[in-house]
Amino acid sequence: MANEKFYLTKETKIIFGITLYRIKAKKSFNNVKKGELGGFIEREENLSVYGDAWVSGDALVYGNASVYGNARVSGDAWVSGNARVYGNAWVYGNARVYGNALVYGDAWVYGNAWVYGNARVYGNALVYGNARVYGNARVSGDAWVSKKCINIIGLMFNITIHDKTIQIGCEFGSFDYFKKLTYKKVNADHGEEACMFWKAYKKFILNIVKNQR
């Protein structure tokens, strides 16, 4: 299909030796007006010609990254690598989404938040502030993750991380307490399912704590 949605202007920005081009709308759609300037992309493949997806402000999308569906990338946000932003997702502010990360559904990533690696943020999840979501992490449902107080909801047990403490389900304690918490003790106190949960998420939770400090 011919691109009847936008074109690359002559206004450029060079990032890490890569030339990005500001886009301009060829037609009106959703909240975008014909002739409206958008953000910067490396090539047409970074932004779908279908749907209402749009890159605005001084946002950057480059590499093999793709924005499609009704997704929006705005402000000073960057989407790069093999990242995908789609559905009704919104990435804005100074947020960064890169690597093989996926942000989709009705998820929002904003502020100074970073989502990278093989991380997935989806559903109605919010990731914001100075939060970091990475590795094989999954943030979904109605979860929200921020720097000051991190809440992860929608897993077997709700997780709340404060400045000096963590609560997982009904278990509450200091960072050091959870760092030393053994699978054997979890199994003895809470059963096999809780033990399996701790095996699956211990590293992820402690990495969030490490980056929060």
pLDDT at position 36 is: 92
pLDDT band at 42 (very low <50, low <70, confident <90, very high): very high
What pLDDT is attached to residue 211?
Answer: 66
* Local confidence band at 56 (pLDDT 50, 70, 90 cut-offs): very high
The second-level CATH assignment, the architecture, of 6-152 is: 3 Solenoid (2.160)
Give the model's pLDDT for residue 190: 87
pLDDT at residue 105 greater than cutoff 90: yes
Q: Decide: pTM greater than 0.85.
A: no
Burial 83-115 (b: 16+ CB within 10 A, else e): bbbbbbbbbbbebbbbbebbbbbebbbbbebbb
Give me the residue spans of the domains in the chain.
6-152, 159-212
The HSE-up count of residue 1 (CA atoms within 13 Å, CB side) is 9
Percent of the chain at pLDDT > 90 equals 48
Q: What is the mean pLDDT of the chain?
A: 87
Residues 75-85: what's their mean pLDDT? 95
Q: What is the dihedral of CA 86, 90, 95, 100, to 10 degrees?
A: -10
